[in-house]
Amino acid sequence: MSLLERAGLAVLRRMDPETAHDLALRALSRGLGPSPGPLSGPRLHTRVGRLGLINPVGIAAGFDKNAVAIDALSRCGAGFAEYGAATPRPQPGNPRPRLFRLAEDGAAINRFGFNNDGAGAIAARLAAQPTGMIRGLNLGANKDSADRAGDYVEVLRLAGPHIDFATVNVSSPNTAGLRDLQDKAALADLLARVVAARGADDMALFVKIAPDLDDAALADIAEVTTQAGLDGIVATNTTVRRDGLRSAHRDEAGGLSGRPLMAPSTRVLARLSTLTDLPLIGVGGIASAEDAYAKIRAGASAVQLYTALSYGGLSLVADIVKGLDRLLARDGHASVAEAVGTDRAAWL
Ligand SMILES: Cc1cc2nc3c(=O)[nH]c(=O)nc-3n(C[C@H](O)[C@H](O)[C@H](O)COP(=O)(O)O)c2cc1C
């Protein structure tokens, strides 16, 4: 981490967390931020369905909801970035405060509720800034929509030409009723419509699930997602559970992310990998190269992170990519693919 980044983080940590994140994004959008350049190497290349990634470490959805820091994210060393969530119409989200720092736990709780500039504005930013990096958009539905499945299709229609992948987010805990779209029949219908909307395009499609699902629900999702012909599953979003937290904000409503999510989210990932051959993207609680490697060994072909970046800065991405390469080499793996699922049993 550079001195500038260290000083910046120290200042941001004393501010309201949403204001701090907005300021950090503004700084990134003005050209500040780490620039290690594209990080790759023979061991780091990985495939997730039809996506070929130069390295397996991605920026998770929600970090740059409105795609205002595209250039900075494409320079930070990540292998891919997911923007959004975007909804068809702009919406303000829930009243503030709606993001809480749980520093003692290395965690955060958010109840943003899909605040975003709308798919049209976000698609225009993506269109104006093509980069060499693989990028995707997290698809959401407006809170007051009468046809939520139609919302996902509409966002895809607007942004599709400017992205390499889209993630159907049916797992945000902050839009009432949204997670019901994970139920078997509803999900089958939604995914059929989204797949039809993709048409002949070669964009990859993923679905993102909650960590709070039991085995029967995971089996249903694995079956429906495979049948729909998706490219993979993103596991997981934030949790509504609260176990063993110490911070004052632990009882705030919303989704919990960060360190306490690592174990439950990785268990769901490992479980899911026994139920499907689809590639999985592991997200939830990653704060180090060791965590990223654990997700891969639990069954993930690629990983994403968000909360640890607000504690460690964007330079953490490059540290994780380089550390992961060393861990793969240490264990004699010639590629990420060779390591995928090699320690699944530890999480079951
Ligand atoms: C403030 C905040 C906003 C988020 N917004 C979204 C979102 O819009 N769509 C989504 O699929 N996930 C969203 N997430 C979830 C993250 O993408 C990720 O799945 C989750 O935080 C677990 O990863 P982490 O522990 O590395 O943060 C958000 C997370 C946070 C902390």
Show the tokens assigned to 226.
């495979």
CA-closest residue to ligand 1 atom 30: 62
* Class level of CATH domain 3-347: alpha beta
Report which residue type is found at 110: N
Cβ(210)–Cβ(175) below 8 Å: no
State how far the Cα of 308 lies from the Cα of 325, in Å rounded to an integer.
Answer: 19
Lining ligand 1 with CB less than 6 A are: 60-62, 65, 84-85, 99, 108, 110, 112, 138, 169, 172, 208, 237-238, 257-258, 261, 283-286, 305-308
On the question of pLDDT at 287 being above 80, the answer is: yes
Q: Which of helix, strand or coil describes residue 86?
A: strand
On the question of pLDDT at 199 being above 90, the answer is: no
CA-closest residue to ligand 1 atom 28: 62
Q: Which of helix, strand or coil describes residue 342?
A: coil
Whole-prediction pTM value? 0.98
The full 3-state SS of 253-288, as one line of letters, equals CCEEEEHHHHHHHHHHHHHHHHHCCCCEEEECCCCC
Show the tokens assigned to 26.
């503004």
List CB contacts of 209: < 8 A, sequence separation 6 or more.
170, 171, 182, 218, 221, 233, 234, 235, 236, 237, 268, 272
State how far the Cα of 227 lies from the Cα of 39, in Å rounded to an integer.
Answer: 35
Amino acid 207: pLDDT: 98
Distance 246 CA to ligand 1 centre (A): 21
User: What's the angle, vertex CA 232, arms to CA 227 and CA 237, rounded to 5?
Assistant: 115
> Which ligand 1 atom minimizes the distance to the CA of 167?
11
CA-closest residue to ligand 1 atom 2: 62
Distance 330 CA to ligand 1 centre (A): 31
CA-closest residue to ligand 1 atom 5: 62
> Which ligand 1 atom minimizes the distance to the CA of 261?
25
> Which ligand 1 atom minimizes the distance to the CA of 65?
8
**pLDDT range class, residue 5, cuts 50, 70, 90:** confident
Hey, which residues are catalytic here? 172
Report pLDDT digits (tens) over 25-81.
999 999 999 999 899 999 999 999 999 999 999 999 999 999 999 999 999 999 999
Spell out the domain ranges in the chain.
Answer: 3-347
First to last CA, the chain: 36
